């Protein structure tokens, strides 16, 4: 039996996605669990697997189209199966219904229809137009039934809409920003911007716009406060060296692996920092899922190490390597980037000593980690060279207070300055 694949919901705040690429073309065989398409969300490009095995009968959405969550995108059929056209047309009508909110005006009943209503010329035009062409027609207020299609079997495609607009002397309303489905970023008050020779204008991509929107929302809505602490890292660096001497190159531990484990154990003691504010309640999360900020092309992505407090250092290290690799290759899965309860942003590899991070909602806190540096420090009344590291905790004052944040950083210091505790 033919099955309809719909645009999946890949995040709690996802309303739509851009179908970037069909991995399986029409007529190709696909197995359950195989990658069917690549979907771009506000956060990343995600590989979407097929929930069924069969033949890709027909794609209902073209590459580059913006599709609402739950809208049909393709039809999977059994080999040799005759797919009823009503299934395809019904799916297309459902996609149109999801994409366009219903009007409040009642539709007049047709005196000539009984049972299943006959399709009007307008509906037929909608069904034989590509998703991109339908959206362009809607944005430019064109009537599809008056446009002749040049695609396969008379299908209306983008070039037909562009030609129709040219004939009417209109300017194409689909701009770079609207094709991304993104509102323009708010302008700042001040002097009028003046362009100068040599300036380069670079369009904001979907990921960068999403980062900007979320960070503005975070700074405006969350009352941030900051607590900074530095730690003696001599024992961590020594233990890491001992452990790595026993491991092959691709299994060696990083300093960040120790920090992830130490943070996770510290959060168990201070659950208000592993929490979210939902309505009038503080939700203390049962799992400690650590988000790790990763620099990727075009922006920043947070991958998630789940139940980090329960995992040994070696497993944390392996998972982080795999997650970072998929993130930088653009092959993350939905579960790789959703569900973090606390985040860590580490710029130590760039020799940054100190910085402040913005909280990633709906989390209540984030830890900014600087480089481990050899600095003069007073030990037993003497100035000695020591490996030290500075961190800054950003926290939501609606959920926690300075004293609790300071106690958390003290607990973190206990694990980092006595790292054998991370092994038991």
Residue 261 lies in a domain: yes
* Separation of CA 209 from chain center: 12
**Residue 123 parent element (H or E):** helix 121-127
146 shares a domain with 295: no
Instruction: Please tell me whether residues 161 and 286 are part of one structural domain.
Output: no
In a domain, 331, yes or no: yes
Is there a single domain that holds both residue 162 and residue 278?
no
Query: What pLDDT does 139 receive?
Result: 67
**How far apart are the C-alpha atoms of 161 and 155, rounded to whole Å?**
11
Q: How far apart are CA 85 and CA 81, in angstroms?
A: 12
Give the CATH number for residue 170. Answer: 4.10.320.10
Q: Which helix (H) or strand (E) holds 326?
A: helix 313-329
Asked if residue 167 and residue 45 are part of one domain, the reply reads no
Per the CB < 8 A criterion, the answer to whether 61 and 21 are in contact is no
**Cα(91)–Cα(144) distance, rounded to whole angstroms?**
19
**Is position 112 within any domain?**
no
Together in a domain, 127 and 17? no
Catalytic site includes residue 285: no
Q: Residues 20, 151: one domain?
A: no
Per the structure block, which two tokens stand in for 129? 């137009």
CA R_g for the chain: 27
For residues 68 and 136, state if they share a domain: no
CA-based angle 350:354:355, to the nearest 5?
95
Let me know whether 95 and 17 are in one domain: yes
β-strand partners of 232: 388
Answer whether residue 161 is part of any domain.
yes
Tokens of 75: 């039809």
Name which of 417, 410, 393, 414 is nearest 273 in CA terms: 393
Question: For residue 143, what are its two tokens?
Answer: 């009537």
- Which pLDDT score is estimated for 12? 60
322 and 369 part of one domain: yes
Ranges assigned E (strand) in 60-137: 66-68, 72-77
Burial of residue 262, with CB atoms counted within 10 A of its CB: 0-12 exposed, 13-18 middle, 19 or more buried: buried
Q: What is the DSSP letter of 60?
A: S
- Among 57, 224, 285, 397, the one annotated catalytic: 397
65: Cβ contacts below 8 Å, ≥ 6 apart: 18, 19, 130, 131, 132, 135
Nearest-CA neighbor of 394 among 360, 361, 363, 358?
Answer: 358
Tokens at 405, concatenated: 């944040």
* Residue 419 domain flag: yes
The answer to whether residue 105 sits within a structural domain is no
Beta strand 365-379 with 382-396: parallel, antiparallel or unpaired?
A: antiparallel
**Domain span at residue 295?**
208-423
Q: How many helices (H) and strands (E) are present in the chain, helices listed first?
A: 11, 16
Q: How far apart are CA 360 and CA 303, in angstroms?
A: 12
Q: Which CATH number characterizes residue 232's domain?
A: 3.30.559.10
d(CA 17, CA 98): 13
Q: Please report, to the nearest 10 degrees, the dihedral formed by the alpha carbons of residues 302, 306, 309, 313 taken in order.
A: -80
Q: Supply the pTM of this predicted model.
A: 0.69
CATH number at residue 56: 2.40.50.100
Of 67, 99, 131, which residue is a domain's last? Answer: 99
| Co-location of 390 and 338 in the same domain | yes
Residue 234 lies in a domain: yes
Q: Is the dihedral of CA 414, 415, 420, 422 positive or negative?
A: positive
**pLDDT value of residue 362:** 93
DSSP string for 177-235: HHHTT-PPPPPPSSSPP---TT----PPPHHHHHHHHHHHHHHHHS-EEEEEEEEE-HH
CA end-to-end span of the chain, whole Å?
54
pLDDT tens by residue, the chain, 424 residues? 788 888 888 766 677 888 888 999 999 999 998 999 988 887 777 888 888 899 998 898 888 888 888 889 998 988 878 776 655 555 555 555 444 443 333 333 333 333 334 445 544 544 567 656 776 777 677 888 888 888 766 778 778 888 888 776 654 444 444 444 445 555 565 566 777 888 888 877 777 888 888 899 899 999 999 999 999 999 999 999 999 999 999 999 999 999 999 999 999 999 999 999 999 999 999 999 999 999 988 788 899 999 999 999 999 999 999 999 999 988 888 889 889 999 999 999 999 999 999 999 999 999 999 999 999 999 889 999 999 999 999 999 999 999 999 999 999 999 999 999 999 8
pLDDT given for residue 329 in this prediction: 87
pLDDT value, residue 191 = 60
Is the CB of residue 304 less than 8 Å from the CB of residue 260?
no
Are 167 and 244 found together in one domain? no
Domains of the chain: total: 3
On whether both 362 and 224 belong to a single domain, the answer is yes
Q: Do the domain assignments include residue 108?
A: no
């Amino acid at each position: 039996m033919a099955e309809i694949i719909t645009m999946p919901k890949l995040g709690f705040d996802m309303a739509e996605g851009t179908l970037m690429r069909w991995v399986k073309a029409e007529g190709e065989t696909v197995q359950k669990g195989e990658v069917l398409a690549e979907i771009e969300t506000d956060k990343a490009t995600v590989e979407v697997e097929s929930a069924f095995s069969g033949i890709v009968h027909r794609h209902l959405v073209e590459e580059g189209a913006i599709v609402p969550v739950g809208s049909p995108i393709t039809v999977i059929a059994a080999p040799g199966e005759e797919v009823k056209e009503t299934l395809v047309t019904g799916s297309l009508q459902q996609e149109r219904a999801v994409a366009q909110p219903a009007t409040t005006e009642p539709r007049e009943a047709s005196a000539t229809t009984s049972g299943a209503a006959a399709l009007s010329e307008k509906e037929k035009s909608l069904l034989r137009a590509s998703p991109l062409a339908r959206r362009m027609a809607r944005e430019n207020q064109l009537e599809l039934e008056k446009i002749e299609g040049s695609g396969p079997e008379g299908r209306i495609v983008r070039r037909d809409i562009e030609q129709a607009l040219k004939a009417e002397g209109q300017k194409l309303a689909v701009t770079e920003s609207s094709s991304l489905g993104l509102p323009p970023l708010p302008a700042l008050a001040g002097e009028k911007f003046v362009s100068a020779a040599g300036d380069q204008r670079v369009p904001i991509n979907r990921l960068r716009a999403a980062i900007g929107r979320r960070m503005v929302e975070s700074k405006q809505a969350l009352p941030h406060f900051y607590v900074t602490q530095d730690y003696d890292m001599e024992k961590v660096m020594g233990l890491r060296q001992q452990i790595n001497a026993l491991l092959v190159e691709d299994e060696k531990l990083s300093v960040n692996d120790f920090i992830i484990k130490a943070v996770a154990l510290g959060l168990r003691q201070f659950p208000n920092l592993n929490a979210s504010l939902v309505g009038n309640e503080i939700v203390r999360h049962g799992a400690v899922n650590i988000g790790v900020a990763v620099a990727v092309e075009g922006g920043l992505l947070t991958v998630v190490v789940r139940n980090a407090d329960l995992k040994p250092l070696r497993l944390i290290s392996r998972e982080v390597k795999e997650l970072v690799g998929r993130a930088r290759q653009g092959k993350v899965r939905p579960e790789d980037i959703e569900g973090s309860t606390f985040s860590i942003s580490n710029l130590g590899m760039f020799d940054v000593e100190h910085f402040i991070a913005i909280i990633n909602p709906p989390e209540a806190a984030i830890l900014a980690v600087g480089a481990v540096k050899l600095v003069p420090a007073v030990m037993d009344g003497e100035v000695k060279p020591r490996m030290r590291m500075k961190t800054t905790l950003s926290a939501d004052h609606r959920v926690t207070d300075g004293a609790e944040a300071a106690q958390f950083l003290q607990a973190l210091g206990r694990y980092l300055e006595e790292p054998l505790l991370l092994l038991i």
